[in-house]
Structure 1
């Protein structure tokens, strides 16, 4: 069957279809690129990863090109995510498309127009170059099944050279991991079960990744569970648990002794969360497929610790969109306002509905103040049973709290008690962490006067 000269029997290459689906999930759900690419199990992992990353990096330009070319308006049945993938391949990737599939032929019929729009965009100097953020590969050891010492010895046996970390000054440590050679690795300065490898090291096919002995988790993502610091035999509530890396870290911190409620509302993400907990051997975790705002102390009694890492813009994730903050396509005021409303609501729920909770850690993978210090300030103004602790005191060495927002003056006291991870400085994803602790009956909320 043919229509307008196109052969409908010819399918789009699977690589393009998979890449389109991944881009959609990253943009709409804030999912992890590398996790999705790995889950796709396509034999050409590097090609899909490169194409997806390139498509996301050029997201703002693609939106502009699609509007100016009117492809989606003229071709109403064209999948917009596939269109982005194919245009990326034509303009920034291989810079050529081949095949008789209708979507490919459609893009090729617009080739001259697409290239003309891009040329004019470049000439106008409105082209936005993504930031280049170089950060190492972080590997957390699953201490439920392996000690850090055994992991180090195992990597040594594979030919890796272990560089002993004797640094006590954060800046010196950062310089060391910046200059790791391709066959070297070391231990982290703040997270005791975290190893640091050179940028780009691929562990997705490593046997220890496959069996859950190692977990590929960015350093900044490890800090919330580290600061929550639940003791063995305690009861923990992970309010937004999927995909489960922080949940498994909590289980390891507790030596699988106690109970971790891991809550996820979305059915697909819940199933993935449950599977991951089984893979890593987190037997103290009970997965819960519920809307966390419906949870109460009656159904989940004796909760002592709460980890809250809610949905956010993901503006700190260096493998998603790497534009300057003011031009980032994620920085949509309406979207941020909607997310901030949810974040504030769920944090209030955590603070007010679990009377035995003594510590709550709130974190986001965002660098936007609307999702971070602004949320903390609004909540602290209306919740007098908790104080804001100095999160940096929970780390064994200092942290460069380098975030400088235009709101620093108004939020200075809050920012001094919270942790911001900044990609260019800390060599991690962008992250924000705040620690709340319940005050004693005789204690006042001392956020405004507590010593630094």
Structure 2
């Protein structure tokens, strides 16, 4: 049997333990990353169906459920399985029955989808045009190829139907890197900061860069932006994305004097060189009125001294790690919770034992996550995620408090997450407000996005979006201001 299937099964196991697809894929370099992504994506897309097929046809002969689901996924997608082995032979004996059951279940699912689709508001796809003042023809060129609308809430943001995305990425305008796909929610976060030309902005937890890039469009080539990103790979991506944003950026430097001997050619070889200990990078605009400073460090290692040279800081964005329950792939996590029940690891494969060997799961609560989100209500945390969410909430309080303590010359702080859960949002903000008596909450956005049905007294000052109500991902945004 091909080794790639076992690798995909290990990755599926990591996803089941809470890892995101991209995070799991990029943990180690792998030349087969595109094939692995295809297998994982299709396995998660069809997880409930593949689980039913596995239970019916494979559960007795394949005790490694992750591997079984991967092999079934490959079979239904490619109509063959590479390599050899006993398990492959057992699957091929049942191939006709497996494909028949899969097709019946898939047909039923598609029928249900079409019925539900009529009720749902579809997520749109959003984009901005880099350097639009100099690139005035780009929008007209795109409109000549596909239907493009201006977003009604965010100036400079454009939207298309989701099924037009493949057309967009084949256009010359996109291929020339004049367009950046961005979610509307990132723009709503930046909008809360009321960014003006010439401001000084600090973006904590900056990668992958959507907030930073939209901030740069509002600064209009004049100001100072500090980005902080702990992870080395994500920092590399962040620098790449920023350099695409404006062709007037002069390059990346290793010192604030922008000396030519310290100019860095942004290649993987240069950036990840083992003998390079640099963790601060500078990007300068050719007219010297816009400077970007990127820290590749843990924010908790930075003190007030690191920001003293900035003088007054206008806005600080704090967008820490969260449960990502507002993201589309959280549905996959819910499916994995149903399919791969929590349990101990077996001694051979490091994978959970069979479902039948596990103790009964606690009763499913009456509250349904998906129904709550569809109707614009704050959902309760599903039981399997409670420990993770509690742990994240403690981290979120810590990082927001650290921002307030460290950036002492800043008055405005925008705290956001892509989570629906109150524990990561209102409860975090309430705790931080109690710890910082000189800080008050202000309205974080337009009235149409303010949430008036929350239990918390601060909800009505905070922005919340729901996919089926607002045609974008789920986001929470709050705005805190320091008062004398």
- TM-score when scaled to structure 2? 0.65
| Structure 1 residue 187 corresponds to structure 2 residue 150 | yes
What is the aligned counterpart of 1:159 among 123, 138, 145?
A: 145
Check whether the contact 1:313–1:336 (CA below 8 A) recurs between aligned residues: yes
Counterpart in the other structure of 2:126: 138
Give the CA deviation at 1:103. Answer: 10
Q: Deviations over 1:267-300 (max 9, x none)?
A: 1111111122122236432221100111122012
Please give the alpha-carbon distance, in whole angstroms, between the structure 2 residues aligned to 1:333 and 1:341: 13
Check whether the contact 2:199–2:314 (CA below 8 A) recurs between aligned residues: yes
Please give the alpha-carbon distance, in whole angstroms, between the structure 2 residues aligned to 1:248 and 1:107: 52
Please give the alpha-carbon distance, in whole angstroms, between the structure 2 residues aligned to 1:219 and 1:30: 21
| Structure 1 residue 356 corresponds to structure 2 residue 405 | no
Give the CA deviation at 1:30. Answer: 4.0
What is the aligned counterpart of 2:83 among 100, 112, 120?
A: 100
SS of structure 2 residue aligned to 1:307: strand
Counterpart in the other structure of 2:448: 399
What is the aligned counterpart of 1:311 among 303, 306, 321?
A: 321
Q: More deviation in 99-108 or 332-341? A: 99-108
Please give the alpha-carbon distance, in whole angstroms, between the structure 2 residues aligned to 1:295 and 1:333: 30
Give the CA deviation at 1:427. Answer: 0.7
Task: Quickly say closer, same or farther: Cα 1:102–1:73, change in 2 above 3 A.
Answer: closer
Please give the alpha-carbon distance, in whole angstroms, between the structure 2 residues aligned to 1:401 and 1:65: 44
Counterpart in the other structure of 1:181: none
Aligned runs of 1:341-420 on 2, under 5 Å? 341-392=394-445, 395=446, 398-401=447-450, 404=453, 408-409=454-455, 411=456, 413-420=457-464
Check whether the contact 2:314–2:410 (CA below 8 A) recurs between aligned residues: yes
| Structure 1 residue 218 corresponds to structure 2 residue 218 | no
Give the CA deviation at 1:423. Answer: 0.5
Q: Deviations over 1:16-44 (max 9, x none)?
A: 978986995797554669x99xx999999
Task: Quickly say closer, same or farther: Cα 1:390–1:208, change in 2 above 3 A.
Answer: same
- Compute the RMSD of aligned alpha carbons: 4.4
Q: Deviations over 1:110-158 (max 9, x none)?
A: 969x969x99xx9xxxxxx9986621111122236755x53321213x3
Counterpart in the other structure of 2:293: 286
Structure 1: give runs of 5+ residues left out of the alignment. 1-5, 123-128, 161-183, 442-452
| Structure 1 residue 262 corresponds to structure 2 residue 188 | no
| Structure 1 residue 56 corresponds to structure 2 residue 44 | yes
Please give the alpha-carbon distance, in whole angstroms, between the structure 1 residues aligned to 2:176 and 2:17: 29
| Structure 1 residue 197 corresponds to structure 2 residue 160 | yes
Task: Quickly say closer, same or farther: Cα 1:293–1:84, change in 2 above 3 A.
Answer: farther
Please give the alpha-carbon distance, in whole angstroms, between the structure 2 residues aligned to 1:256 and 1:71: 64
Give the CA deviation at 1:426. Answer: 0.4
Give the CA deviation at 1:198. Answer: 1.2
Q: Deviations over 1:74-102 (max 9, x none)?
A: 56xx9x5x665434445xx5384432255
SS of structure 2 residue aligned to 1:416: helix
Counterpart in the other structure of 1:163: none
Please give the alpha-carbon distance, in whole angstroms, between the structure 2 residues aligned to 1:328 and 1:108: 38
Counterpart in the other structure of 1:164: none
Please give the alpha-carbon distance, in whole angstroms, between the structure 1 residues aligned to 2:398 and 2:148: 42
